[in-house]
Structure 1
Amino acid sequence: MNAASGKVLAIEGELTMVTAAQWIERGRALVRAEDLVVDLSGVSAADSSALALLFDWMRVARASGHRVRQAGMPAGMRSLATLYGVDELLPAEA
């Protein structure tokens, strides 16, 4: 990850319906202030709420003139994004 491309928010553990709510406001606050790179390499389990969280942050970022990129998306989460047909909508950090 390139720290010059934005603030890095590293998420670890499960990112599911049970845990996503604890991240929503933190991510929103960050993307209102600057570009954000979401490091997902520490995510051990994810469901569709993880994708919804990323899209929420992207919406807030766009409204604030910023952007969100993701890095280290786990295979299971990537499979969900592909299944839902949204994988190409989630920009990855180069």
Structure 2
Amino acid sequence: MSKLTIVKEGAGHFIVDGDLTFSAMDKKTVSSFAFLAATKQVVMDLGGVGNADSAGLALMIEWIKYTRSKRVQLRFRNIPEQLLNLAKLSGLDKTSYFISAKSGQDATE
């Protein structure tokens, strides 16, 4: 298990590193969303995620709800296949929150 960390790469750009799983998340990670409201556009790069489960997807949905309430545009990129497969079950992968790996463009809602 690799602890989940979120690293600020630049203005509005964050790298998620470690496991996006229930056991890797701590209370601070789950409760502190203020970093998401620092700018009007946020990109979360999930390329550093090793393992993911439904709790990781649930955290992503919470990030979406939070940024929506703050009128911040959120996008995810470099989504691991494991997490993408979970998102496909609900159609979340087809929303504008997911940046297509093939084209580099946003998916359409």
TM-score w.r.t. the length of structure 1 is 0.79
SS of 1:45's equivalent in the other structure is: strand
CA contact (8 A) 2:13 2:44 kept: yes
CA contact (8 A) 2:12 2:38 kept: no
Deviations 1:4-61 (A, max 9, x none): 9x611111121101123443334x1122222221110011100011111111111111
CA contact (8 A) 2:76 2:97 kept: yes
Q: Point out the more displaced range, 14-23 or 36-45.
A: 14-23
Q: How many residue pairs were aligned?
A: 90
Q: Point out the more displaced range, 28-37 or 73-82.
A: 28-37
1:89–1:24 CA distance, 2 compared to 1 (3 A): farther
User: Where in structure 2 are the equivalents of 1:1-94 lying within 5 Å?
Assistant: 7-21=12-26, 22-26=28-32, 28-34=33-39, 35-89=41-95, 91-93=97-99, 94=105
**What root-mean-square deviation, in Å, do the aligned CA atoms of Structure 1 and Structure 2 show?**
2.2
Pair member with larger Rg? 2
Distance in 2 separating the partners of 1:89 and 1:55: 12
How far apart are 1:90 and its partner, in Å? Answer: 5.7
- The structure whose residues are more often helix, as a share, is 1
Say which structure, 1 or 2, has more relative contact order (CA 8 Å, 6+ apart): 1
Identity of aligned residues (%): 28
